[in-house]
A and B are shown apart, each in its own frame.
Chain A
Amino acid sequence: MQRPVFFNLLQIQMPVGALTSITHRITGVILALGILPGVYFLDRSLQSPEAYTWVAGLAATPWFRATAIIFIWALAHHALAGIRHLLSDIDIGSLLPAARRSAWIVNISGVAVALLAAVALF
C-alpha cells in the first residue's frame, strides 16, 4: 500500500525535540564536510615553520573565524544532542517533559557556545 508521505520540514509543525534531532543530523553532515579542510590544515601546520605560519595567518582572518564559528556551533549542538541521546539510553530524561526540557537546553546551549566563541574570536 502506498502511504502518504509528507517530508517538507519547512511546513511540518515540529516539536522542540524534532528540531534538536534534525539539527543533530544537519550538524553531523556539516562537521563531516569540515573534515577534509580540517585534516588539510593539520597536515600543513605540522609540515614546516613556514607552513605553520601560513595556517596561523589564515586562521587570523575574519572569514576564517566566521566559518570557524559555524563549525563551533555545529560541534557544540552535535555533541550536546549526542550527550542527550547517551543519557536517554541509560534512562535519564527519557520521559516527555524532561526530554522537552533537555531539547530546549541543547538547542539554546549550542547557540550560546557559538556566541561565546564569537565574542572570544572577534
Chain B
Amino acid sequence: MVVTGLRAWLVQRASAVYLLCYIVFVLVHILLDPPTSYRAWREWASHPGVGIASAVFFAALLAHMWVGLRDVIIDYVHPIAVRATVLALLALGLTGIGAWVLRILWLSIG
C-alpha cells in the first residue's frame, strides 16, 4: 500500500488519536485494578471488548509505525536501492509483528 501526502498525514493522525485513547484505557485499568494473577490477566485480555480494542490498537500501531519510520528512512537513507531494501524489510517486519499479534490475541480467547 502506498501511503503518501494527505493520506499518510491522515493515517498518522487518526491512528494517533486511537492509540492515545487505548493507552489511557489500559493505564487506567492497570492503575485501578491491577491484574495480580495469571487468571485475572488472561480473563481481562480475553474479554471480547478488550480483545477487539487490542486488535484495532495493534492495527493502528502498525500503520502509525509504518508512516513514521518510513518518513525517518526517507529522510536519512538516500541511495534508492538501499532505501527500497530497508523499506521492504520494514514492511516485512511489521507484517510479521501483525501476524504474531493476531496469533497471541487469537490464542488468548481459546
Contact = CB atoms under 8 A, between A and B. Distances in A.
A97 to B, nearest CB: 25
Interface of B: 13, 16-17, 20, 23, 37-39, 41-42, 45, 61, 65, 68-69, 72, 97, 100-101, 104, 107-108
Main secondary structure, interface of B, reads: helix
Contacts of A45: 38, 41
Contacts of A39: 97, 100-101, 104
Interface string A32-60: 10011001001101101100110000000
A77 to B, nearest CB: 14
A interface residue count range (under 10 / 10 to 19 / 20 to 34 / 35 or more): 20 to 34
B38 A53 contact: yes
Nearest to A43: B104
A25 B20 CA distance: 17
Interface of A: 25, 28-29, 32, 35-36, 39, 42-43, 45-46, 48-49, 52-53, 75, 79, 82-83, 86, 89
Nearest to A49: B38
